[in-house]
């Protein structure tokens, strides 16, 4: 049985959501690694001679939460994509009403997690950048990437990575919102088995022939 077209659109969105989640998790993990494991979100920068330094980082668990949530949702999208491609091509299965309800619940939880992650990235990055600008060494956070940091080698492309993580999270939020909307439509207007069969299918043809023959016998 071929998947309904709405579910096919879901799978495409899941594929893009996987990429967004993976980019967000990787970019934030790379940023945290460039600061020696410290989390720059909601952190405070200070001058250390002629260099900049992350004097007051936030708890590492904050970055772990955002990166972990993005990574787990990306993994869920990838596994779900593989599952339905395999099921539709090999096992010829379909999603029932209970499975759709479970998918709705997971999508709602995913939207909440992505929204929280995107807000943390937005406001956490702005807080850190404002602390850098307040030092009167630069007028933009992107320019601070060109400065020397203490210890040497830290803060490599930190603003670019944080910006990419935030952008990916907002795009991911939109994708999950569309997925939830499609699932609500499928739950509200469920497709009947006859809607998923085309006139040229053997099963449809056999049932139609039997019905026509039955009417001819009683005419």
Cα–Cα distance for residue pair 78/13, rounded to 1 Å: 11
212 within some domain = no
Examine residue 211 and state whether it is found in any structural domain, yes or no: no
Tokens in use for 144?
């601070």
The reply to whether 130 falls in a domain is yes
Task: Tell me the pTM.
Answer: 0.80
Percent of the chain clearing pLDDT 70 (strictly above): 82
Within a domain: 207: no
Residue 197 lies in a domain: no
Q: How many domains does the chain have?
A: 1
Containing domain of residue 88, as a range?
Answer: 5-188
Among 117-121, 133-137, 164-168, 214-218, the least confident range:
214-218
The reply to whether 68 falls in a domain is yes
**111: confidence class by pLDDT, cuts 50, 70, 90:** very high
Read off the pLDDT of residues 19-33 as tens digits, 9 standing for 90 and up.
999 999 999 999 999
Q: Are 56 and 40 in contact (CB under 8 A)?
A: no
Beta carbons of 73 and 118 less than 8 angstroms apart: no
Task: For 6-64, write each residue's pLDDT tens digit.
Answer: 778 888 999 999 999 999 999 999 999 989 889 999 999 998 888 899 889 999 999 99
- Checking if the pLDDT of 193 tops 90, the result is no
Inside any domain, residue 216: no
Listed residue (82, 67, 58) closest to 165, CA to CA: 67
Whether residue 210 is contained in a domain is answered as: no
């Amino acid at each position: 049985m071929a998947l309904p077209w709405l579910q096919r659109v879901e799978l495409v969105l899941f594929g893009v959501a996987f990429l967004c989640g993976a980019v967000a998790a990787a970019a934030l993990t790379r940023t945290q690694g460039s600061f020696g494991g410290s989390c720059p979100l909601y952190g405070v920068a200070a001058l250390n001679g002629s260099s900049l330094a992350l004097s007051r980082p936030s708890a590492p668990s904050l970055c772990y939460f955002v990166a972990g949530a993005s990574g787990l949702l990306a993994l869920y999208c990838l596994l779900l994509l593989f599952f339905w491609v395999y099921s539709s091509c090999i096992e010829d299965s379909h999603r029932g009403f209970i499975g759709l309800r479970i998918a709705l619940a997971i999508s709602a939880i995913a939207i909440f997690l992505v929204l929280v992650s995107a807000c943390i990235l937005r406001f956490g990055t702005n807080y850190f950048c404002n602390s850098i600008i307040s030092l009167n060494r630069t007028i933009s956070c992107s320019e601070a990437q060109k400065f020397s940091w203490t210890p040497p080698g830290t803060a490599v492309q930190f603003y670019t990575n944080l910006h990419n993580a935030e952008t990916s999270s907002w795009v991911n939020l939109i994708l999950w919102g569309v997925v939830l909307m499609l699932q609500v439509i499928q739950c509200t207007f469920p497709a009947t088995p006859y809607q998923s069969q085309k006139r040229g299918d053997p099963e449809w043809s056999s049932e139609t022939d039997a019905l026509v023959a039955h009417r001819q016998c009683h005419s």
